[in-house]
Amino acid sequence: MANVDSRRHSASFRDPDSWILQWGGNRILRRVPRGLLGLLGQADVAAFLNREITVGRLVAGTRLSESDRESAGLESSDGGGFLVHPRLPFVTYPYEWSATMLADAARLTLDLQCGLLPLGVELKDATAFNILFNKGQPVFVDWGSFRKPFRSDGWYALGQFHRMFLYPVLLRAIRGWTPAQSFSGRLDGVPLATVVKELGPWLGLLSPSLWLDVVLPSWLEAYYHKKPNRGLKLSAGTQLSPDIQISNLKRIRRLVDRLEARFLHDSVWRDYAVDCHYDPVAEAAKQKSVQEFLTQAAPRSVIDLGCNSGNYSKIASEIGAKVIAADGDEGAIARLYAQLRRAPADIHPVVVNLANPSPSAGWCNRECSAFLERGVADCALALALVHHLRVSSNWPIDHIVDFLGMLGGQHLIAEFVPRDDPMFQAITRLRDEDYADWTLEAWKTSLQRSFMLVREVKLPSSPRTLGLWRRR
């Protein structure tokens, strides 16, 4: 039998007791310790987890059967076992979420911890990377995080929860930092010192709701740092009732709600008016043409580049494709996510700057995959996009076409926005260049290097042209 360690996925290393094995196809295989298998055997724990799976907040997990285990050649030392999970359609990382998505993920983590504690289970860690999104809601995926509580009166992972969830949400509320900024350069969230520095000396003291989660911890850490020889031994203690911890976590949950309310209004609703500047006749014709093009191309998956509020993502989803909705504006993704929460669909919102997409990250830059590796689809939608890439990002036409070719598979639906378009003129107003190379002919010539024009529509009441292209 093959040693299970040799099949361990190199990026799944943080937990010494639970890890992902090399996977293929539609399933994820996770090695778990014997203690976890015992917990899953408890009827009340299994019932709780099944309820969470049913409402879609927890990824499904079943024990790998003996026959499958033997045929896969897997053997686990010291009584551990294997769980099988379905692979979720699209992976996103916390730095690609809107702050509203992060707040939802925070609430899910707290709800799971509060629900598990009375059953004698807790979450071993509180990292935002334990959560993926599917059908417009957060999904907890790390079954390896379940264990018997270390202590009942305090959650060992609360410090990590602060760094990964509470502080980024707080910084979004008071400083407007998007999660991309909070996780910039580090995967473990915002450290306490950064939050203290941003709050400044007065804002912390004047906000009682932050005393227990920011001010007091920072005083205590400063005190203990001054006494390097003073060790603090924490022993396991599970004989106390977890009610106090649950009350504290519910208090933190209400704090997350209040902080989110402070930025929900401006990020979700205030900027909505910016969307509605297009001529209604042209817009209606464009939607009809995009729908026809998508029906003709019949892709299984679509990536909507610069999706904004997601109107075209919804059209793509209605023809039955899985849709990746990418936009660099965190507020636009927050708007789209808010709609998905109300009306779930197979649309996956992601905040990504297309001119600088998320690189691979973490250990040896192999722990988190780059966006360009994940964001591939049968068909790419480049609507109201390419003129931004030409003007704001200064990409030559060939570079734009090569980029679009990298993301879409078989088909590409692209809208060409010429120089006499009002939006083009608006973004070039202060620029000292005539963009003489930016013509429809040059655009089509460049595309014809790798694509073949299938259909073309000149939009009414607008100088724009819509094209359906198929890769040669």
Partner 1 sequence: MLLMVESSIGYVDPGAGSMIVQLLIASCLGGIAFCRQRILAFFRRKKPGNEPDTRQNPSDGERR
Residues 398-437 that bind partner 1 (CB under 8 A): none
94 or 375: whose CB is closer to partner 1? Answer: 94
Q: Is 158 in the site for partner 1 (CB under 8 A)?
A: yes
In the set 224, 269, 272, 363, which binds partner 1 (CB under 8 A)?
224
Q: Are strands 27-32 and 122-123 parallel, antiparallel or unpaired?
A: unpaired
Length of the chain: 472
Q: What is the DSSP letter of 224?
A: H
33 or 299: whose CB is closer to partner 1? Answer: 33
In the set 150, 278, 395, 435, which binds partner 1 (CB under 8 A)?
150
Helix 440-447, helix 397-407: angle, nearest 10:
50
124 or 411: whose CB is closer to partner 1? Answer: 124
In the set 12, 76, 134, 245, which binds partner 1 (CB under 8 A)?
245
> Of the ranges 39-47, 92-100, 224-232, 409-417, which one interacts with partner 1 (CB under 8 A)?
224-232
> Of the ranges 240-248, 266-274, 318-326, 401-409, which one interacts with partner 1 (CB under 8 A)?
240-248
Terminal CA-CA length for the chain = 46
Q: Is 240 in the site for partner 1 (CB under 8 A)?
A: yes
Q: Is 160 in the site for partner 1 (CB under 8 A)?
A: yes
Q: Which residues of 64-89 are buried (b: 16+ CB within 10 A; e: fewer)?
A: beeeebeebebebeeebbbbbbeebe
Q: Is 159 in the site for partner 1 (CB under 8 A)?
A: yes
Residue tagged 């995967």 (tokens): 187
Q: Is 153 in the site for partner 1 (CB under 8 A)?
A: yes
* Distance between CA atoms of residues 70 and 140, nearest Å: 28
Q: Is 234 in the site for partner 1 (CB under 8 A)?
A: yes
In the set 212, 261, 298, 406, which binds partner 1 (CB under 8 A)?
212
Q: Which amino acid is at 425?
A: Q
Bridge partners of residue 469, in order along the sequence = 412, 453
- Least Cα distance to 345 among 313, 371, 376 occurs for 313
> Of the ranges 19-27, 66-74, 215-223, 453-461, which one interacts with partner 1 (CB under 8 A)?
215-223
Q: Is 233 in the site for partner 1 (CB under 8 A)?
A: yes
> Of the ranges 45-53, 110-118, 135-143, 153-161, which one interacts with partner 1 (CB under 8 A)?
153-161
* Distance between CA atoms of residues 219 and 450, nearest Å: 61
Q: Are strands 377-382 and 408-416 parallel, antiparallel or unpaired?
A: parallel
Q: Judge residue 8's burial from the number of C-beta atoms within 10 Å of its C-beta, 0-12 exposed, 13-18 middle, 19 or more buried.
A: middle
Q: Are strands 451-458 and 465-471 parallel, antiparallel or unpaired?
A: antiparallel
Q: What is the DSSP letter of 401?
A: H
Q: Is 6 in the site for partner 1 (CB under 8 A)?
A: no
Q: How far is the CB of 246 from partner 1 (least distance, A)?
A: 11
From the CB of residue 372, how many other CB atoms can be counted at a distance below 10 Å?
15
Residues 290-319 that bind partner 1 (CB under 8 A): none
212 or 453: whose CB is closer to partner 1? Answer: 212
Q: Is 177 in the site for partner 1 (CB under 8 A)?
A: no
In the set 52, 96, 104, 125, which binds partner 1 (CB under 8 A)?
125
In the set 244, 261, 406, 453, which binds partner 1 (CB under 8 A)?
244
Q: Is 218 in the site for partner 1 (CB under 8 A)?
A: yes
The pair of three-digit structure tokens given for residue 105, joined into one six-digit string = 């993920």
Contact by Cβ (8 Å): 283, 463:
no
Q: Is 363 in the site for partner 1 (CB under 8 A)?
A: no
Q: What is the DSSP letter of 57?
A: S
- In the complex, which residues of this chain contact partner 1 (CB under 8 A)? 14-17, 124-127, 150, 153-160, 162-163, 188, 192, 212-213, 216-221, 224, 231-236, 240-241, 243-245, 248
